[in-house]
Amino acid sequence: MADYKAPLKDMQFALRHNARLPQLAELPQFEDASDDMVSAILEEAAKLAGGVLSPLNVVGDQTGVKLVGDDVPTPAGFSEAYQQFAEGGWGSLQFDPEYGGQGLPYSLSIPVMEMWQSANMAWGLCPLLSQGAIEAISVNGSDALKATYLPQLISGEWTGTMNLTEPGAGSDLAAIRSKAERDGDHYRISGQKIFITWGEHDMTDNIVHLVLARLPDAPAGVKGISLFVVPKFMINADGSLGERNDARCVSLEHKLGIHASPTAVMSFGDNEGAIGYLVGEENKGLACMFTMMNNARLAVGLQGVAISERAYQHALDYAGEREQMGVILKHADVRRMLLTMKALTEAGRALAYDACASLDFAHATDSAEENTRAALLTPIVKGWCTELAQEVTSLGVQVHGGMGFIEETGAAQHYRDARILPIYEGTNGIQALDLVGRKTLFDKGVAAQALFAEMEETLIALQGQGDFAKEAERFAAALALAKEANAMLLEEGAKDRQWPGAVAFNYLMLMGTLAGGWQLARSAVVAAQTDEGDATFLQAKVLTARFYMAQILPRCQGYAAMVLNGAEDILAMSDEQLASSWYS
Amino acid sequence: MADYKAPLKDMQFALRHNARLPQLAELPQFEDASDDMVSAILEEAAKLAGGVLSPLNVVGDQTGVKLVGDDVPTPAGFSEAYQQFAEGGWGSLQFDPEYGGQGLPYSLSIPVMEMWQSANMAWGLCPLLSQGAIEAISVNGSDALKATYLPQLISGEWTGTMNLTEPGAGSDLAAIRSKAERDGDHYRISGQKIFITWGEHDMTDNIVHLVLARLPDAPAGVKGISLFVVPKFMINADGSLGERNDARCVSLEHKLGIHASPTAVMSFGDNEGAIGYLVGEENKGLACMFTMMNNARLAVGLQGVAISERAYQHALDYAGEREQMGVILKHADVRRMLLTMKALTEAGRALAYDACASLDFAHATDSAEENTRAALLTPIVKGWCTELAQEVTSLGVQVHGGMGFIEETGAAQHYRDARILPIYEGTNGIQALDLVGRKTLFDKGVAAQALFAEMEETLIALQGQGDFAKEAERFAAALALAKEANAMLLEEGAKDRQWPGAVAFNYLMLMGTLAGGWQLARSAVVAAQTDEGDATFLQAKVLTARFYMAQILPRCQGYAAMVLNGAEDILAMSDEQLASSWYS
């Protein structure tokens, strides 16, 4: 199979026209983000992704990882690739120059992150988790904690992990039982954590675990959770590594996909208690987690885009080579599948980049509107872009026909790897509840209406180009349905607590499908007018938007009807009736 | 994980009210199919499925199969289970008593087949392939061939395989290169076949391969293909097994799922040429294949229903046990997922059983209408029921949250196993082309209109029960859209050859989603009126139909719009534009 080719033209187009990078580069703190600089960074990243990480994807899947004593040797080539990544400064783009970061916009780091995830998602999870740890410490940590941990995390000398889940505490963090006891200037942590991504490995000398635990006198529930830094090896005063901490990987999970990413069961405090340092304040751990949650959720949505891109390239290559009554690329149904893959991927990319840009604007200009906009878009990006990844990677298998089911072909790996995305970092059911609850009912729909107003502007622009009359009509119809569904959600949600939860997922899919179409409409309006750039690419951009409006956007009709049909039929059946088809 | 429980109540309901079994039992040749007889058969099959085959499903997946010399040892317990199956006469239900069959209706064998596929799809493929071989020989074979092979195939003493695909000939059978040379009363076969399900194994003493090959003087294309019986061991005149034939498994595929089902690369004629016996006439092999293709396609659609049922039971068990902010079964979004699984599975079951019944009526009464009806429903059952299996098994993973991604949980196995279904026995793209072409355009929509007329009758029945006013409205809307899409297909298809192929898949999904709703509406009308049977089950049947009408049927709006939006935007993009996002 061919190695990954970074879709640089589409990435730069989306940065420029969907994520407003030129406007961002006008801000004083981002003056370095010139067009030339951006091109240079993306082209260099593309080399590492396509030339080094992508060839390791299959071998990583086949070799997998095993626990050997206390250690987890990574597949051949993984550690060397990581060294190249760290030496290239790829983990430091968006971080604070005070701690060795490059101070570039977060939204510029996004296409770079996309490349790692496209090239090798199992490997790419390692820097993605480090990024979360860096954010949690940066925002909430004391100066001492920052000075001790940030430089090595940002340089990539160490990696980071997030330790939230326990066997009885998944979506419900209130159920966390891990303990933290005060012990002088630090704490002693004990407990078991599961599903810890890259919890143990051999690519760096140290691993910095961020761990949620509960103090003995903590209030019950989520208001009694604190966040701690627990290093694998202690740090001496001179910065050198000291003794092994009392934190160990005790087993690895056997998973459907991302075989090369070690998913650890971590045991803290089997002996004297693992030494941990408080991040932020006692009992405010959940708030600390939330500071990084937006970014992490956007990053998982981006993984959905990334693996979709890879699956698309894979399928397109095959379809151009395989002969069955002519090359199969020429068959109308194969083209439908490929275009569906391409259109969903590009819609997801533009949407994810745009949402990330809002976070940049929010931070750089202290804009409450941009912050609210990012908060609204986050569950849509996480939820919809990971759902579309299921569809796109499945189409990737289908384009390969019988060969798609054979592991050596590689299409099945994308399909298996992608299946984690709707689950981790908050299941898509949780995202949907966040969207209808905190992001819509809580502000009485203000943020949603602001987004609809942006879409209206795009609609007017579409209508202004006679060539897009049909597309404008299709987009207007979907937008009207979404507004209707939104109005009903506000009305029914005010009356009944169960109603929003029952319709939440279809409302999320409605908003995602619409927002994806909106982004492609924005792209098409620009692409049809500009002569800046590659004509073939620009024409394809217009045709992709047309395809989406005709062949994907109509899904909104179904989603909207499901929301408007309400919760009644979803909640009517009893537990006993659910199990009434067989004799028990 | 709990073992499979056959959904006997729903199976019997569907046989009775969707598949018209009581009417069938009135025909003289099926007078044995009394209610008591049917119950007794299903209950016995349920024991073998739940007690013997289901516990072997996980071990089969984990052990898989390997080629050892010329042999393929099957996972522990598989062979013993097969002996129980053969001794119970389970492979003989619907076959000719002249050769040891039980002469029961084909539609009665369908729930029994569903049970094997639910309990253990990898194992269940073995009898499913034998069934295909029996049909091909029964319909097309000479009396001598039937006498030599049918009794042992029907009794299960031997198994059968279908050898169609070659590396260069998948969907395009015209490209077959395997050779057959005349040699006295038999032929010498040589060539390589791939994707041969259960091509080699140790569960029986002999394996009967049905092989497509080409005579030296055969016309080019599909009109030059002949079908041959090639036994693994030759049969002596006294019926005992003779020498090994020149046919061998040379390797097994490493697949995404159905790990315990050996998918063989078969080599025929490496030495003197494998001895084969012609089935039917020379160069008429494709016609012989077609005689069994309807049944095989319906059986694969049924596999989609079967694995969906298993995934549903699995998810329902977990949701009733897992506590996260209360037992997760109580969460509205989890209920939405479970009801979607239940409703799709039951809709698929009713549709598949009904289609199979049409074949029984067609054969028993020589009815051209029933034959046409079965032919129309076949690509819908194969295509739609295997697509719904993707959705249902994926929801099964999702209900399990993080545990769903861990292989030990078992939900992922259903998801992996199910992925072959839209691919084999004609990809769903091929099914869609069959539906729009041979089954709709070819007869100018006559069969489709007859099906719509049946749906109108159900609509009138729905409207006649005041309680179903909303459901009737929803069903009427979807039916109207399907008629509109059908009319446009007939109009545009007459003008342009590419148009039908471009819209075919969405047309198939439209017809499948509508037909599934129609079947549940038929069920609801009966369930609401009868007091025969379990009240909880009957109430659930009504509520399942209501859920489908409110929360699944609206998908038809999207599918119909995609068909009505036409082929234009699907066919507009050039090959170069498809690959224009990256620098090549």
Instruction: Identify the residue with better confidence: B56 or B531.
Output: B56
- CA A303/CA A116 separation, integer angstroms: 9
Closest CA to A415 of B419, B429, B395: B419
CA-to-CA separations, A513 to A117, A224, A553, A584, in angstroms, rounded: 23, 38, 6, 41
**Number of CB pairs < 8 Å for A and B?**
298
Taking CB atoms and an 8 Å cutoff, what residues of chain B touch A254?
A: 406-408
Which residues touch B371 (CB under 8 Å, ≥6 apart)? B358, B359, B362
Q: Does A575 touch chain B (CB under 8 A)?
A: yes
pLDDT tens-place string over residues B284-312: 999 998 877 889 999 999 999 999 999 99
What does DSSP assign to residue B276?
E
The DSSP symbol for B440 reads I
Please tell me if residue B47 touches chain A, with a CB cutoff of 8 Å. Answer: no
Worst-scoring range by mean pLDDT, A13-27, A281-295, B88-102? A281-295
- When CB atoms are compared, the residue of B9, B256, B550 closest to A405 is B256
Query: What distance in Å separates the CA atoms of residue A417 and residue B405, rounded to the nearest whole number?
Result: 10
B255 and A CB contact within 8 Å: yes
Whether residue A323 lies within 8 A of chain B, CB to CB, comes out as yes
Give the pLDDT band of residue A207 (cuts 50, 70, 90): very high
Residue pointed to by tokens 């026995």: B425
Average of per-residue pLDDT across B406-415: 98
Q: How far apart, in whole angstroms, are the C-alpha atoms of residue B128 and residue B117?
A: 9
Residue A291: both structure tokens together? 């500071």
- B167 CB neighbours in chain A (<8 A) are none
In a domain, A50, yes or no: no
pLDDT of A454 strictly over 90? yes
Cα–Cα distances (Å) from B377 to B248, B342, B390, B447, in that order, read: 37, 21, 20, 10
Q: How confident is the model at residue A532 (pLDDT cuts 50, 70, 90)?
A: confident
Residue B185 exposed, middle or buried by CB count within 10 Å (0-12, 13-18, 19+): exposed
pLDDT exceeds cutoff 90 at B2: no
* Rg over CA atoms, chain A: 24
Describe the crossing of helices A498-529 and A332-365 by its angle, rounded to 10 degrees: 100
Q: What is the C-alpha to C-alpha distance for residues A422 and A391, in angstroms, rounded to an integer?
A: 12
**Residues B495, B568: contact at Cβ < 8 Å?**
no
> What CATH number is given to the structural domain containing B72?
2.40.110.20
Q: Cα(A473)–Cα(A352) distance, rounded to whole angstroms?
A: 25
Give contacts of B580 with chain A, Cβ < 8 Å: 9, 534, 536-537, 540
Q: How far apart are CA B287 and CA B139, in angstroms?
A: 11
What does A226-243 look like in DSSP terms, one character per residue?
EEEEEESEEE-TTS-EEE
Tokens representing residue A363 in the block: 């931070």
Which tokens belong to A84?
């190249």
- Taking the C-alpha atoms of residue A488 and residue A506, their distance in angstroms, rounded to an integer, is 13
B259 at the A interface (CB within 8 A)? Answer: no
- The token pair that represents A494 in the structure block: 């005010």
- pLDDT digit string, tens, across residues A278-304: 999 999 999 998 877 889 999 999 999
Task: Please identify, among A256, A283, A310, the residue that sits at the C-terminal boundary of a domain.
Answer: A283
Evaluate whether residue A545 is within a structural domain.
Answer: yes
Domain count, chain B: 2
Q: Examine the pLDDT at B448 and tell me if it is beyond 90.
A: yes
Residues of chain B in contact with residue A497, where contact means CB-CB under 8 angstroms, are none
CB-CB under 8 Å, B581 with A9:
yes
Question: Is A132 among the domain residues?
Answer: yes
A115 pLDDT band, cuts 50/70/90, is very high
- CA-nearest of B342, B355, B436 to B395 is B342
Residue of B nearest to A429 (CA): B333
Within 8 A of A510 by CB-CB distance, chain B residues are none
B167 touches chain A (CB under 8 A): no
Domain-embedded: residue B534 = yes
- Which of 111-130 (B) contact A at CB < 8 A? none
Q: Which residues contact A37 (CB under 8 A, 6 or more apart)?
A: none
Chain B hits for A478, CB-CB cut-off 8 Å, are none
B582, two tokens: 């990256």
Q: Name the CA radius of gyration of chain B, rounded.
A: 24
- Average pLDDT, integer, range B149-162: 98
Query: Domain ends where: A255, A283, A311?
Result: A283
Q: Does B346 qualify as catalytic in the annotation?
A: no
Q: B316 vs chain A: nearest CA distance in angstroms?
A: 8
CB contact under 8 A, A195 and B551: no
- Catalytic residue from among A425, A456, A484, A491: A425
Asked if residue A509 lies in contact with residue A562, where contact means CB atoms within 8 angstroms, the answer is no
| Residues B431 and B508: beta-carbon distance below 8 Å | yes
Q: What is the pLDDT of residues A302-327, one digit of tens each?
A: 999 999 999 999 999 999 999 988 99
In angstroms, the CA A268 to CA A279 distance is 17
What's the predicted TM-score (pTM) here?
0.98
Q: How far, in whole angstroms, is CA A432 from its chain's centroid?
A: 15
Average pLDDT over residues B176-194: 97
Q: Got the DSSP string for B312-363?
A: HHHHHHHHHH-BSSSBGGGSHHHHHHHHHHHHHHHHHHHHHHHHHHHHHHHH
- Rounded mean pLDDT of chain A? 97
Element (H, E) at B210: strand B206-213
| Nearest in space to A360 (alpha carbons), one of A21, A8, A10 | A21
Confidence of residue B171 (pLDDT cuts 50, 70, 90): confident
CA–CA dist A269, A266 (Å, integer): 10
Q: Which candidate in B425, B471, B491, B576 is catalytic?
A: B425
User: Contact B434/A463 with Cβ under 8 angstroms?
Assistant: no
Closest-CA residue of B relative to A332 is B502
In 3D space, the residue among A159, A164, A127, A133 whose CA is nearest the CA of residue A146 turns out to be A133
- Kindly compute the dihedral angle of the four CA atoms of residues B233, B238, B239, B240, in this order, to the nearest 10 degrees: -50
DSSP labels, B377-426:
HHHHHHHHHHHHHHHHHHHHHHHTGGGGGBGGGSHHHHHHHHTTTTTSSS
Confidence at residue B292, expressed as pLDDT on a 0 to 100 scale: 77
Say if CB B543 and CB A572 are below 8 A apart.
yes
Mutation site for A-interface testing, chosen from B344, B434, B581, B583 by largest number of A Cβ within 10 Å: B581
**DSSP secondary structure code for residue B97 in this structure:** G
Residues in chain B with CB shorter than 8 Å from the CB of A427 are 398, 401
Read out DSSP for A532-556?
SS-HHHHHHHHHHHHHHHHHTTTHH
pLDDT at A531: 84
Asked if pLDDT for residue A1 goes beyond 80, the answer is no
On whether residue B212 sits in a domain, the answer given is: yes
pLDDT over 70 percentage in chain B: 100
Does position B344 have pLDDT exceeding 90, yes or no? yes
Amino acid, single-letter form, for residue A247: A
Cβ atoms of B158 and B181 within 8 Å: the answer is no
For residue A242, the model assigns a pLDDT of 98
What residue type is B46 in one-letter code? A
Using the structure block, give the residue that is written with the tokens 């129309």: B376
Task: Compute the distance between CA of residue B152 and CA of residue A463 in angstroms, rounded to an integer.
Answer: 71
Query: Which pLDDT band holds residue A2 (cuts at 50, 70, 90)?
Result: confident
Chain A residues in contact with B423 by the CB 8 A cut-off are 397-398, 401-402, 404-405
Rounded to 5 degrees, φ, ψ at A244 are -70, 135
- Span B145-170, average pLDDT: 96
What does pLDDT average to over chain B? 97
pLDDT on residue A294: 81
> Which of A103, A141, A583 has its CA nearest to residue A363?
A103
Q: Provide ipTM, 2 decimals.
A: 0.98
Q: Evaluate whether residue B166 is within a structural domain.
A: yes
Residues A556, B561 contacting (CB under 8 angstroms): no
> pLDDT tens across B457-513, in order?
999 999 999 899 999 999 999 999 999 999 999 999 999 989 999 999 999 999 999
Give how far A557 is from chain B: nearest CA, Å: 6
Give residue B4's pLDDT: 98
Q: Which residues of B touch A405 (CB under 8 A)?
A: 255-257, 419-420, 423
Q: Quick check: A502 contacting B, CB < 8 Å?
A: yes
Burial (CB count <10 Å: 0-12, 13-18, 19+), residue B105: buried
Residues of B in contact with A402 (CB under 8 A): 165, 170, 194-195, 423-424
The answer to whether residue A216 sits within a structural domain is yes
A271/B contact by beta carbon, under 8 A: no
Give counts: helices (H), strands (E), chain A.
20, 10
Q: Which of residues 185-244 of A touch B (CB under 8 A)?
A: 194-195
B573 has a chain A CB within 8 A of its CB: yes
Can you tell me the distance from the alpha carbon of A146 to that of A152, in angstroms, rounded to the nearest whole number? 10
**What is the distance in angstroms between the Cα of A145 and the nearest Cα belonging to chain B?**
32
| Residue A482 domain boundaries | 429-569
B251 close contact with A: CB closer than 8 A: no
Residue A106 forms part of a structural domain:
no
Per-residue pLDDT at B584: 75
φ, ψ of residue B465 to 5 degrees: the values are -110, 105
Quick: pLDDT tens for B411-442: 999 999 999 999 999 999 999 999 999 999 99
Interface of A with B in 530-569 (CB under 8 A): 534, 536-537, 539-540, 543-544, 546-547, 549-551, 554-559, 561-562, 565-569
Interface membership of B395 toward A (CB under 8 Å) = no
Q: Do B412 and A9 touch (CB under 8 A)?
A: no
Q: Among residues B257, B283, B309, which one ends one of the domains?
A: B283
Share of chain A above pLDDT 70, in %: 100
Given this model, what pLDDT does residue B291 score? 77
Tell which of A578, A583, A584 to mutate to test the B interface (max B CBs under 10 Å). Answer: A578
B583 touches chain A (CB under 8 A): yes
User: CB-based contacts of A318: which residues, under 8 Å, 6+ apart?
Assistant: A399, A400, A403, A409, A411
